[in-house]
Structure 1
Amino acid sequence: MQILGGTYKGRKIRSSSSLAIRPCSSRVKKSLFDMLTARMDFEGVSVLDLFAGFGSLGFEALSRGAQSVCFVDQHVDALKAMKATALQLALHDRVKIVNSDVLAFLGRTTGQFDLLFCDPPYSWPDYERLIEKMFASTLLSQDGLVLMEHSAHLDFSHSPFYSFHRDYGMTRVTFFQH
């Protein structure tokens, strides 16, 4: 796994052999960041990376100019890998790594973010509640975007926050906005 663009292009993102963590594929990540780059300027953007895994999406955003990233995950291997990558890239002052259940974190955080990545396990039992929690507070800035990666068989077009989606084989990324 490596960073595909920006200041840290080509630099490695630490990972582990844990099968419990499914990183975003390079093909999906490249497509997402091509779309995002056409829609927004990353300079000064505050990012929240939920179910962060090894932090591939958040580190990509930092490489492209994001001001800060808050990573949330509860897998020990993932937390160690993200910390190692942040230190290796000298980004520790722009990164916050939170060891927490995502729903618990969403219930207590007071931060506000411009871009939110959410990549829960495909077997996540309650996507509707997750979407509701992400939009129930001032978590997302008024012009902010949420990108949720999930199984292509799930459809969230009925959500009042739904914007559009892209399919990549068995993977779907749904974009949400206020």
Structure 2
Amino acid sequence: MGERSRSNPSSLATCRSSRAGSGVVRIVGGKWRRSPLAVASRAGLRPTPERVRETVFDWLNHLLGSLEGLEALDLFAGSGAMGLEAASRGAARVRLIEKNGESAAKIDESVRRLKGEDCCSVVRGDAFELIRADAGLYDVIFIDPPYDALLQVKAAAAALERMKEEGLLYIERPEGSALDLTGLPLTCVRRGTAGQVVFELYARNGSFMAGQAKLPKEKLTKAQKAQLKRKEEAQ
């Protein structure tokens, strides 16, 4: 839900309207399934694609059992798609933080239209300032900052203070970008790619969730496969 500075800033899931830069995304599952979310008219706004959200929430349901009664924090809310998806699927409390005024207003409009005021709160402001002032703890924290800002590592470090012991961090980033979490007590438990998007779930080292790690096998090049075959034949 952040922004990126590439030539085609639109999401794979954003339906374009006749007004340049505007569009909608739809909630994938839960009580608000198929409900449209208006996307603010901002150059570079990039909501998380629907197929990514579907995969991520399948992971969360498998790991957590369900989102019923849980608490979620969406640090760089953008269109609000991740946070509102969590609320749609039963999260009891969702806090959506967005720095841009127009985007924050659009999310707030969506919350009111969906009658989600009882579980969703939209806060306009800087994510790092607000998370330092937040005394709450969360089961799931979504981290998808503007791509060109490369704030994923800084955000993950800040989010650890607000994540429950068996909580999960979602981190989204552009393919090919480095994500060095060295020094942070985090284990990647799920990883996926879709187009130019890499999306991952992290748990605390040593937690039950960390023990549920299931990552895709690394794809080998032809040269690596040949080298592995020679090694096996030599044994």
After TM superposition, the score normalised by the length of structure 2 is: 0.70
User: Is the CA contact 1:162–1:174 (under 8 Å) kept in the aligned structure 2?
Assistant: no
Matches within 5 A, 1:7-26: 7-26=31-50
Between the aligned residues of both structures, percent identity stands at 25
User: Is the CA contact 2:143–2:155 (under 8 Å) kept in the aligned structure 1?
Assistant: no
Instruction: Give runs of ≥4 in structure 1 deviating > 6 Å.
Output: none
Partner amino acid for 1:92? E
User: Is the CA contact 1:86–1:92 (under 8 Å) kept in the aligned structure 2?
Assistant: yes
User: Is the CA contact 2:143–2:156 (under 8 Å) kept in the aligned structure 1?
Assistant: no
Extract unaligned runs of 5+ from structure 2: 1-24, 205-235
State which of 84, 92, 95 in structure 2 corresponds to 1:67. Answer: 92
Matches within 5 A, 1:5-84: 5-40=29-64, 41-84=66-109
After TM superposition, the score normalised by the length of structure 1 is: 0.92
Total equivalences in the alignment:
176
Residues 122/80 of structure 1: CA separation in 2 closer, same or farther (3 Å cut): same
User: Is the CA contact 1:150–1:173 (under 8 Å) kept in the aligned structure 2?
Assistant: yes
2:113 is the counterpart of 1:88: yes
Which whole-Å deviations, capped at 9, do the CAs of 1:6-65 have from their partners, x for residues lacking one? 111111112222124211111211111121122121110101001001110111111111
Kindly state the Cα deviation for residue 129 of structure 1 after the two structures are TM-superposed.
Answer: 2.3
2:172 is the counterpart of 1:149: yes
CA distance in 1, matches of 2:126, 2:95: 14
CA distance in 1, matches of 2:113, 2:68: 22
2:198 is the counterpart of 1:175: no
Structure 1, 32-41 or 109-118: larger mean CA deviation = 32-41
Say which one has the larger Rg. 2
Which whole-Å deviations, capped at 9, do the CAs of 1:91-119 have from their partners, x for residues lacking one? 01211111111111122211111111111
Let me know the Cα RMSD of the aligned residues: 1.5
CA distance in 1, matches of 2:153, 2:85: 27
Aligned equivalent of 2:152: 127
Residues 4/126 of structure 1: CA separation in 2 closer, same or farther (3 Å cut): closer
Higher RCO, 1 or 2 (CA under 8 Å, sep at least 6)? 1
Kindly state the Cα deviation for residue 157 of structure 1 after the two structures are TM-superposed.
Answer: 6.1
Partner amino acid for 1:64? R
* DSSP 3-state at the match of 2:36: coil
User: Is the CA contact 1:156–1:162 (under 8 Å) kept in the aligned structure 2?
Assistant: no
Structure 1, 100-109 or 45-54: larger mean CA deviation = 100-109
Extract unaligned runs of 5+ from structure 1: none
User: Is the CA contact 1:156–1:174 (under 8 Å) kept in the aligned structure 2?
Assistant: no
Kindly state the Cα deviation for residue 162 of structure 1 after the two structures are TM-superposed.
Answer: 2.9
